[in-house]
Structure 1
Amino acid sequence: MAGSVEHIGPRLKELRQRANLSLRELAQQLEVSPSFVSQIENGKSQPSVATLYSFATLFSVSMDALFQEEWSEPIPRPKASPEINKSDEASHPYDIWDDSAARISAVSPGNRTLITTESGIQWERLAATTEKSVNFMEIVYEPGTESLELGALATHHGYEYAYCLEGEVEVVIGDLMLTLSKDHSIGFDSSIPHKFRNIGSVRFRGIWFTHWCDGPRNWKLIK
């Protein structure tokens, strides 16, 4: 399933209105300005990865849902996880898909949920079980792209783990700056301010595993 950034604004506005929140009230919860929220809703500003996560967390929806052109009541979860069918009618688990996350998730390449931003960042969901506190993804950063707007860092509860498949990406974690290159891996406490940036001439592709600790995710941007 591919996602389109052109649908983000209308989706966020609809979510805000369903929650009976004004622009100012939503902005206060996200710790941003009302004008910034308005610009995103009207398609005049492109939200960063961290901002998208903040919206998704606040409204209790998946990242995928923010990119959908349409949704019905209730808001659907992404169709990215097959349900194992115990009958003899299915030839393979990959042929059976459920509308929600399954206890067993086996995903073939052509059936992964894919989200692409205008800036050149891609998230491809590799599996989706009923465990809501983890994300297992392949992430791509095209040359010159970064996870946050210039100068900003993100912080949130939980831990992140990453393994580089190709290319390299600059990683800033607190006062530490390092380069994640092919076959190298990292893990860190996500409450430490961090960001990622591809400063090379080739795309970066890596495997990401994020784990949210108990309690609110509390995404914050630090500028």
Structure 2
Amino acid sequence: MSGFDVGTRLKQLRQRRDLSQRELAKRAGVTNSTISLIEQNSVSPSVSSLKKILDALPVSISEFFAGEELASEQVFYRAEELTEIGDGTLSWRLVGARRPNRSMSILHEYYPPGADTGEDMLEHAGEEGGIVVSGSIEISVNGETRVLTRGDAYYFDSRLPHRFRNIGDTDCVIVSANTPPSFAEGGGTQHH
């Protein structure tokens, strides 16, 4: 990770809303110890569990990672300037995280073998699409599952429950975009 302090940021947002760890855990449907371990940076939350916690605040993923300061309207970004918002296994690097009034998210996604967005299907308002740059990925959307390989693409309504898994034995890289630039608009998580 590029040094983003997930634990401190979560604690800051929770305290700003006068929520105890217990109260936030209850609202998010996770254990107290999950919140405590994340705030101590002892564990990296999965994308789906971080989304559940942020929905309970509520704070969008992009707001969470933008932190306090918004940068001026930067145009070009070196690889090391992308903001890592993955969970320590899978890597999602966000272009222009601190850009004010951003109306889309562009991600460079990296899934090592076995990486998975989690059994809790992701669901949020908007649309998303992407192209597989290398490797292969199994994508499930609303009960339909396909394995996509290099050059294949996808585009779907993000309110449909979805999950990404690398079931192959090589790394998978995807370049994707979604709009609006927030994972927090959607509400509850759907279990399959």
TM-score bucket of the superposed structures, by smaller chain: 0.7 to 0.9
User: How far did residue 13 of structure 1 move?
Assistant: 1.3
User: How far did residue 132 of structure 1 move?
Assistant: 3.1
Q: 1:107 to 1:125 in 2, by over 3 A?
A: farther
Map of 2:39 onto structure 1: 41
Q: Superposition RMSD on alpha carbons, in Å?
A: 2.9
Do structure 1's residue 115 and structure 2's residue 116 form an aligned pair? Answer: no
User: How far did residue 22 of structure 1 move?
Assistant: 1.8
Q: Distance in 2 between matches of 1:220 and 1:162?
A: 24
Q: Distance in 2 between matches of 1:134 and 1:117?
A: 18
Do structure 1's residue 168 and structure 2's residue 136 form an aligned pair? Answer: yes
Give aligned pairs, total.
186
User: How far did residue 219 of structure 1 move?
Assistant: 4.5
SS in 2 for 1:62: helix
Identity of aligned pairs, percent? Answer: 27
Q: 1:132 to 1:118 in 2, by over 3 A?
A: closer
Map of 1:106 onto structure 2: 75
Map of 1:93 onto structure 2: none
Q: TM-score, normalised by structure 2?
A: 0.80
1:51-90 aligned within 5 A:
51-55=49-53, 58-59=58-59, 62-65=63-66, 75-77=68-70
User: How far did residue 32 of structure 1 move?
Assistant: 3.3
Map of 2:117 onto structure 1: 147
Map of 1:23 onto structure 2: 21
Do structure 1's residue 201 and structure 2's residue 173 form an aligned pair? Answer: no
Q: Distance in 1 between matches of 2:100 and 2:11?
A: 27
Map of 2:158 onto structure 1: 190
Map of 2:93 onto structure 1: 124
* 8 A contact 1:3–1:114 mirrored in 2: no
Larger mean Cα displacement after TM superposition, 57-66 or 37-46: 57-66
Query: What is the letter of the counterpart of residue 21 of structure 2?
Result: L
Q: TM-score, normalised by structure 1?
A: 0.70
CA offsets, 1:71-90, max 9 Å, x none? Answer: xxxx223xxxxxxxxxxxxx
Select which of 131, 149, 155 maps to 1:181.
149
User: How far did residue 36 of structure 1 move?
Assistant: 2.8
Which structure exhibits the higher relative contact order, with contacts defined as CA atoms closer than 8 Å and separated by 6 or more residues? Answer: 2
User: How far did residue 27 of structure 1 move?
Assistant: 3.0
CA offsets, 1:202-221, max 9 Å, x none? Answer: 1111111011299x613533
User: How far did residue 180 of structure 1 move?
Assistant: 1.8
Q: Distance in 1 between matches of 2:43 and 2:86?
A: 12
Larger mean Cα displacement after TM superposition, 30-39 or 15-24: 30-39
Query: What is the letter of the counterpart of residue 69 of structure 2?
Result: P
Q: 1:213 to 1:62 in 2, by over 3 A?
A: closer
SS in 1 for 2:189: strand
* 8 A contact 1:2–1:116 mirrored in 2: no
Which consecutive unaligned segments of at least 5 residues does structure 2 have?
none
Q: 1:44 to 1:3 in 2, by over 3 A?
A: closer
Q: Distance in 1 between matches of 2:26 and 2:50?
A: 16
Larger Rg: 1
